[in-house]
Amino acid sequence: MISLSILDYSPIDEGSTAGEALHQTTALAQLAERLGYQRFWVAEHHQVDSVAGSSPEMLMMHLAGATEKIRIGSGGVMLPHYSAYKVAENFRLLEALHPGRIDLGIGRSRSYRLVNKALNESKGIPVSYEQQIADIQKYLTDDTETEHRFRQLRATPVAETTPEMWVLGTGEGSVKVAAEAGAAYAYAHFAKPLKSSAKLIGSYKEQFRPSRLLDAPKSMVCVFAVVGETEEEAEDLAKAFDLWLLFVESDTPPPYYPSIETAKQRGFSASETEKVERNRKRMLIGTAEQVKWQIEEIAAAYQTDEILIIPNVSGAYSRMKTIRLLAEEFGLQG
């Protein structure tokens, strides 16, 4: 049985505002809960004006208060920018308020050069990512016995439950980090949809070391999903997604997610068409039945029983319809 979860970027649709996008994320999380999705994650994007999701911890606090049982998480906190101690405190606070419902998803992307400089201004010698992961593990488990440069330091508040810790990644490096930390692992198929990557979760399971956080390996694969009631509708949504990806990769991206109408009117140049063809490999496109088959193939190839869906399509109604159609096709129970 495959479990389904959601990752939302809070896209700002053409003609909409950031505030409206965040309220749409709230409505999507509430719908995901009613439909029976396992967890709802939000992203951290900087200097991407077409999405409103820049601070996952802040948005998570709001979403956890607006829902009742679905797990709420980050996909993910870009740890190299921050103090591991402060991240642990943020998530322990979330967990104390919403016990048994908080996921700490961690990534290492450093984003744009100017963003990196602003987020890391006035910092001293950087701590390695591997050390930061070990630090997070220490702070989440109240470990004051193991040798550590801050051995007696505890992250507060101390609560009866602990957030789930997930390491996000696209290669052997992140697999090794997750396995050695005894953390769960999420593979970003939407970023690197390579056939050769299917072995990574198997490698993670082989290397996994049980920890205070997790006694057995846990994994999932993250995918872009474009779902329509018909193949034609799915293709229209995919064209708008194609254009958004081109915008994001350009030097002067507009501050919105383009509509289907805009994508149809604009069309693509020859060089853009080549990029679109490459990006299409990152998406699952079709009717709910067709996308279900693709999800099942990916789950089998990667040896996982959970798929994190990114319904990053144009229009709040279309995003809601995407997760509703898939929930119906998979027979989820709210």
Give percent above pLDDT 70 in the chain: 99
Give the model's confidence band at 111: pLDDT under 50 very low, under 70 low, under 90 confident, else very high: low
| Residues 312 and 284 sit within 8 Å (Cβ to Cβ) | no
What is the mean pLDDT of the segment spanning 161-166? 97
Q: Is the pLDDT of residue 109 over 80?
A: no
pLDDT of residue 30: 98
- Is 189 buried (19+), middle (13-18) or exposed (0-12) by CB count in 10 A? buried
Question: Tell me: the pLDDT tens digits for 119-156?
Answer: 877 787 789 999 999 999 999 999 888 888 888 999 99
Domain count, the chain: 1
pLDDT of residue 69: 98
Question: Tell me: the pLDDT tens digits for 13-25?
Answer: 999 999 999 999 9
What is the mean pLDDT of the segment spanning 309-322? 98
What is the mean pLDDT of the segment spanning 321-328? 98
Q: What is the CATH number of the domain that holds 23?
A: 3.20.20.30
What is the mean pLDDT of the segment spanning 101-115? 86
What is the mean pLDDT of the segment spanning 181-197? 94
pLDDT of residue 151: 87
What percent of the chain is helix, strand and coil (3-state, nearest 5)?
45, 15, 35
SS3 for 6? strand
What is the mean pLDDT of the segment spanning 244-248? 95
CA 207 to chain centre: 23
What is the mean pLDDT of the segment spanning 248-273? 92
Q: Is the pLDDT of residue 205 over 80?
A: yes
| Residues 169 and 138 sit within 8 Å (Cβ to Cβ) | no
**Domain hosting residue 296, numbered range:** 3-330
Give the model's confidence band at 313: pLDDT under 50 very low, under 70 low, under 90 confident, else very high: very high
pLDDT of residue 44: 94
Question: Tell me: the pLDDT tens digits for 216-241?
Answer: 999 999 999 999 999 999 999 999 99
DSSP string of 201-239? Answer: HHHHHHH----SS-SS--EEEEEEEEE-SSHHHHHHHHH
Element (H, E) at 285: strand 283-286
Question: Tell me: the pLDDT tens digits for 74-93?
Answer: 999 999 999 999 999 999 99
Q: Is the pLDDT of residue 110 over 70?
A: no
What is the mean pLDDT of the segment spanning 232-261? 95
Q: Is the pLDDT of residue 277 over 90?
A: yes
Average pLDDT of the chain? Answer: 94
With tokens 């501050």, the residue in question is 255
Tokens encoding 69: 């049982």
Distance CA 303, CA 305 (A): 7
| Residues 248 and 50 sit within 8 Å (Cβ to Cβ) | yes
| Residues 132 and 79 sit within 8 Å (Cβ to Cβ) | yes
What is the mean pLDDT of the segment spanning 182-192? 96
Q: Is the pLDDT of residue 194 over 90?
A: no
